[in-house]
Structure 1
Amino acid sequence: MSNLIAVFNKYFEVVPAKTADLKNQFFHLRYQVYSQELQLSDFESWRYPDGHETDKYDKRSVYSLLRHRRTKQIVGGLRLVLCDSVDPLQPFPIEEHAGHYFDAQLIEPSKLPRRNIAEVSRLMIAKNFRCRGKEVLYAHGMDDSSFEDRSHTRRQFPHPILGLLVALVQTSSEYGITHWYAIMEPALNRLLGRFGFDLEPIGPEVDYYGIRQPCLQNIDSVLARVFQKNRDIWELVTESGRKEGIAESVRGGG
């Protein structure tokens, strides 16, 4: 077992949010981050009198939480918007809001394996764990200072976002997802590239709650890149290759 796995297991645990109580914890975290802390347009607190931020895509979504083992505090969470089971051509959020900007030479949504796509969204870290530099300004808690080695703020675990990447891979494996959609800040995609988790842009930057860029990538390609770039991170997010299909997808290139 790598040291990264041992440290992760010491401090954190991934919790699939499948019960009503866990889902409500996730919805409340969304409210805290987007409505109260970042105060984003269209996420105003008055829209959510119950303190739970939700939207129409939650009916077809699954969720994961990252929890601190010792304190039981919620560290962060993410949502995967799944294909509409009744009508697979129903748009994903990225298609609805940025699909008209897609590069037709790179992607044609109707030809994608839609039942095996999930859109990664609401990826966020709780305020208590966004504690370096300007991390507090971003829901995902990542900026260049996240990678600085400051002795007075040094984390025992490299960054909580890695825990959410563990959750992302585990949940995708459980639901048979082969491709990830995401509309993300270019800076976040660049920072995720330090782990090998950056995704391929499929269109220009657009104004969507700030500057965002639509992205899509086959998960096997992402994990093969992680495998080559940082074996410890690959072992962490794939449980040392035990997730179905993951080990086989990269073994040939390893």
Structure 2
Amino acid sequence: MQKGKLVQKVQNIFGANSRVTKALKGYQKLQEVKEISHHFSSYLETKIADTAALKNESYKMRYQVYCNEEGFEPPNELKIEKDEFDDYSVCCLIEHIQTERFAGTVRVVRPKKDNQLLPIEKFCSSSIANSNLSPSNFPRHQICEISRLAVPNEFRRRSMDKFDGAAIGAINPVSYSETELRCFPFIAIGLYLAAAAVSINSDVKHAYVMMEPRLARSMRFIGIRFEQIGPIVDYHGKRAAYHITPEMLHKNLPKGFTIMYRHIKHTLKNQQAMHLKK
């Protein structure tokens, strides 16, 4: 019996809000996540931008999304989106293996000197209401900020969006298999997991991010539970400051996404070791 028909039959017998129906739906979602997590590594590869060429790919992708598609930043002649924080950041990329096209990027800002601030400290310090979790309370090498996450339109698809915060886009279904298309909504999650892996491999104790509350709710739905530490402010739209620790990530991440995280962490570990030696 097909999964959809089985759920419908159980729902007809026990009711839509019964524990049996909810348990079955939850089990099927878990199985789907596990399946897609396995497929993720078959079609998409996570890598650290450890060369000038790869870093430039990240900057160009950010320009495409932040300047052309979203209009958050002004255009420039170089057609790259880069700032002072990139000088002490680690950039991650997700590449579509078959086409060798980059499907997303994110950076982890990693200050090491006293005069190196996080973006949240420079631009949104007043948005941190929980003074106990202010980045200034911790040594520079123990903090980081996850920022500049970008997924180009080509790899965003409304019909496959499962989470509130996902951006709207179009994609040519002829270019990719249905299995690949099912993986694409997980690219943003993969980028957050990549940032988490980089942070944890660097022994970071506190990670920060400015994000839309609806995206935070979406991340919570799949087990990445950021703690809101300030009010909603107007910063490239309505956003709030959030905080997470390695313990918080490990405690709440479901088994399905743990598969994806472990693969990403293993993939990046050797790359990051080489990056830190440079």
| Aligned-residue offset at 1:134 | 10
2 CA distance for matches of 1:8 and 1:57? Answer: 30
| Aligned-residue offset at 1:142 | 4.5
Q: Determine if the alignment matches structure 1 residue 72 to structure 2 residue 100.
A: yes
Q: Per the alignment, do residues 238 and 134 of structure 1 end up closer, same or farther by CA in structure 2, a change over 3 Å counting?
A: closer
Q: Determine if the alignment matches structure 1 residue 91 to structure 2 residue 117.
A: yes
1:42-61 to 2 correspondences below 5 Å: 43-45=73-75, 48-61=76-89
SS at match of 2:204: coil
| Aligned-residue offset at 1:91 | 2.7
Alignment-derived partner of residue 236 in structure 1? 260
Alignment-derived partner of residue 242 in structure 2? 215
Q: Per the alignment, do residues 156 and 117 of structure 1 end up closer, same or farther by CA in structure 2, a change over 3 Å counting?
A: same
- Equivalent in 208, 212, 228 of residue 201 of structure 1: 228
The percentage of counterpart residues that share the same residue type is 29
The answer as to whether partners of 2:96 and 2:103 remain within 8 angstroms in 1 is yes
| Aligned-residue offset at 1:124 | 1.5
Alignment-derived partner of residue 107 in structure 1? 133
Q: Determine if the alignment matches structure 1 residue 120 to structure 2 residue 146.
A: yes
1 CA distance for matches of 2:123 and 2:110? Answer: 16
Q: Per the alignment, do residues 25 and 189 of structure 1 end up closer, same or farther by CA in structure 2, a change over 3 Å counting?
A: same
Is there any run of 5+ residues in structure 2 with no aligned partner, and where? 1-33, 169-177, 268-278
Q: Determine if the alignment matches structure 1 residue 159 to structure 2 residue 186.
A: yes
Equivalenced residues, count = 222
Q: Per the alignment, do residues 179 and 71 of structure 1 end up closer, same or farther by CA in structure 2, a change over 3 Å counting?
A: same
Moved over 6 A (4+): 240-243
**Deviation digits for residues 181-233 of structure 1 (CA, Å, limit 9, x no counterpart):** 0011111111111111131011101111111101112122122111xxx2111
The answer as to whether partners of 2:44 and 2:95 remain within 8 angstroms in 1 is yes
The answer as to whether partners of 2:225 and 2:252 remain within 8 angstroms in 1 is no
SS at match of 1:65: strand
- RMSD over aligned CA atoms reads 2.7
The answer as to whether partners of 1:107 and 1:202 remain within 8 angstroms in 2 is yes
The one-letter code of the counterpart of 1:233 is F
TM-score with structure 1 length normalisation? 0.78
SS at match of 1:234: helix
Alignment-derived partner of residue 147 in structure 1? none
TM-score with structure 2 length normalisation? 0.72
**Deviation digits for residues 31-69 of structure 1 (CA, Å, limit 9, x no counterpart):** 1001111112xx111xx2111110111111110000011
Please identify which structure carries the higher helix content: 2
1 CA distance for matches of 2:41 and 2:104? Answer: 16
